[in-house]
Structure 1
């Protein structure tokens, strides 16, 4: 004799199997999530060991920056040629003297600053004023490079009409250097990230 199939036994059987499948899936997902690391530890240690340590951010106004730069540049002044860099509301100005036929004329070079990806600042020459003389930009930059004592991290490119301030290459006793992040003279927002060399 055959037993009659009733839907009740089949329904309970399928319900039990479905509940069992959900429980197994839940335990499997839970075990998988608990067993995986959020960040690979080798990646974290590589990042820290290859880079210098950021110790803070330095925010400044034009006036504060001018005072800091002038104090830093005191060690680079000579009896023959002294100079200054000043940030104005529109540009960066180099002020010094230019010697022509034995006469010293006031020299003003105006630059537009651009922050580069590595934290350096590129100063592009806008205009040159040497008394009433009209001088080529490349000659003025060659004169500055040859006669003025500039910091080692300042790179003069007379052909392109630029000065590059390689701030990450600054050298000092404590091993600190800066990377420019914002150099907005119009809105008076100047900021640098400060790093400690390893």
Structure 2
């Protein structure tokens, strides 16, 4: 009888030990799974490569900063071309220069209202034009400007809609740097430009 009781006690401790061992192993496995990062699918190598190709940042500029930038571009980048215009930002955007009218040089100032397009390009809607003492329709004057003015290829003049578009998506510096517009508020002097710089 005593031998039977001894076996029962041994069996009890045996099962108690196995149960405890199972609990410890189960908790250990659960903790290991929870603390190990899980990667679902293949890593997006294309995204990483794209991020490494360009550095992107945004700059806040004032009108005087952009006026200086445009002047520098005209002086340096267009120095080997016939340049007969100026572009400045004030209360409005203003394109000024000289064109030929009836065989004479006539100065003009075209005033424009800027607008940021969805693709980051800049559109300027003509609001009025000053051509000496002459009173010319905007579309007629813009036709003269388009036919005579030497503007960069990335600048498009639409005389019917009376707009000028700066196609920034076609404009790249020699370094590969390019830009998109985020905001242009001339009244509050708040201009924001996205800059894309090759990461080389």
**TM-score category (smaller protein):** 0.7 to 0.9
8 Å contact kept, 2:183–2:192? yes
Give 1:40 deviation, angstroms.
6.0
2:66 is aligned to: 65
Asked if 1:85 is matched to 2:87, the reply is: yes
Is the CA contact 1:120–1:165 (under 8 Å) kept in the aligned structure 2? Answer: yes
**What is the aligned length?**
175
Q: Which runs of 4+ in 1 moved over 6 A?
A: 27-30, 77-80
Deviations 1:157-193 (A, max 9, x none): 1111111111121132210011111211111111211
The 1-side partners of 2:47 and 2:189 are apart by: 34
Which residue is equivalent to 1:110?
A: 111
* Shift in CA distance, 145/76, structure 1 to aligned 2, threshold 3 Å: farther
| Counterpart Cα distance in 1 of 2:41 and 2:122 | 35
Is 1:101 aligned with 2:98?
no
Q: Give the whole-Å Cα distance in 1 for the aligned partners of 2:41 and 2:168.
A: 33
Alignment of 1:114-193 (within 5 A): 114-193=115-194
Distance (whole Å) between structure 2 residues aligned to residue 94 and residue 34 of structure 1: 62
Describe the shift of the 1:139–1:48 C-alpha distance in structure 2 as closer, same or farther (beyond 3 A). farther
Of residues 66, 75, 78 in structure 2, which corresponds to 1:76?
A: 78
Contact 1:69 / 1:85 at 8 angstroms: preserved in 2? yes
Mean Cα displacement is larger for which, 103-112 or 27-36?
27-36
- Gaps spanning 5+ residues in structure 2: where? 1-25
Change (3 A) 1:176 1:80: closer
Further displaced range: 112-121 or 54-63:
54-63
Taking structure 1 as the reference length, the TM-score comes to 0.72
Matches of 2:111 and 2:169 in 1, distance apart? 23
Q: Which residue of 1 aligns with 2:15?
A: none
CA root-mean-square deviation: 3.2
TM-score (norm 2): 0.72
Deviations, residues 17-59 of structure 1 (Å, cap 9, x unaligned)? xxxxxxx9xx87994895644x86544x333445762332222
Secondary structure of the 2:115 match is strand
How far has the Cα of 1:131 moved from its partner? 1.3
Q: 1:110 to 1:30 in 2, by over 3 A?
A: farther
* 3-state SS, counterpart of residue 69 of structure 1: helix
Provide the rounded CA distance (Å) in 1 between the counterparts of 2:140 and 2:152.
Answer: 20
Q: Structure 1 pair 108/35, CA: closer, same or farther in 2 (3 Å)?
A: same
